[in-house]
A and B are shown apart, each in its own frame.
Chain A
Amino acid sequence: DGGITQSPKYLFRKEGQNVTLSCEQNLNHDAMYWYRQDPGQGLRLIYYSQIVNDFQKGDIAEGYSVSREKKESFPLTVTSAQKNPTAFYLCASSPRRRTGELFFGEGSRLTVL
């Protein structure tokens, strides 16, 4: 079945460590996105990519990095520079021409100890 797979589902990290969250899609979508969700808030855009080997910063990119070497994959690294990384992270994709209708993965919950 087509869809978006995020891993791991739960992740614990010590302060000062970098962690990478995986996002893979087999929907043949051009665009991929990373969002952060905090309790009681809407989704905030971290990074997005419209095409392979290209990506742009969203509203809260500081302390995060991404790559887009393959169409199917858009991993997110949460670096030690991210001051408050504990959150629920959602990856999404969309066909290029319909940017608003997003298809979401199941999410990754990161907790910094």
Chain B
Amino acid sequence: ELKVEQNPLFLSMQEGKNYTIYCNYSTTSDRLYWYRQDPGKSLESLFVLLSNGAVKQEGRLMASLDTKARLSTLHITAAVHDLSATYFCAVDFRLLEYGNKLVFGAGTILRVKS
């Protein structure tokens, strides 16, 4: 079964603190995506990770991919209120008979408190 698990599902942090969101997946893939969603809004692409060891950074967010461990992390440095949103990871699984299938995690709701 293709599964993508994020944790934590809810994260309340103080401004200025660091934290990491984890995304585990059930079977081999080397393509993983992180999206951000503001309340009531659409999803916005944050990072595209296409190989083992890939690391991407944008502002206070850094994403990495370890395909051997089937794990991606989204690290938040010195959080600010503007980062409050829901963050989704999505894994692109290649299936012989099906082609590609993109499976989303349940999302992590991040609230940054001042």
Interface residues of chain A, those whose CB is within 8 Å of chain B, are 40-45, 90, 92, 99-107, 109
In the complex the two chains form, is A99's CB within 8 Å of B41's CB?
no
For chain B, the count of residues having a C-beta within 8 Å of the partner chain is 22
Closest to B102 in A: A100
Interface residues of chain B, those whose CB is within 8 Å of chain A, are 4, 9, 31-33, 40-45, 48, 88, 90, 92, 99-100, 102, 104-107
In the complex the two chains form, is B88's CB within 8 Å of A100's CB?
no
Contacts of B102 in A (CB 8 A): 45, 99-100, 102
In the complex, A106 Cα to B41 Cα: how many Å? 6
Closest to A42 in B: B104
Question: Chain B interface secondary structure, helix, strand, loop or mixed?
Answer: strand
8 contacts between A and B (CB under 8 A): A41-B107, A42-B104, A43-B104, A45-B102, A92-B43, A102-B90, A106-B41, A109-B40
In the complex the two chains form, is B100's CB within 8 Å of A99's CB?
yes
CB B48 to nearest CB in A, in angstroms, measures: 5
Contacts of A90 in B (CB 8 A): 42-43
In the complex the two chains form, is A41's CB within 8 Å of B42's CB?
no
Contacts of A106 in B (CB 8 A): 41-42
Contacts of B31 in A (CB 8 A): 100
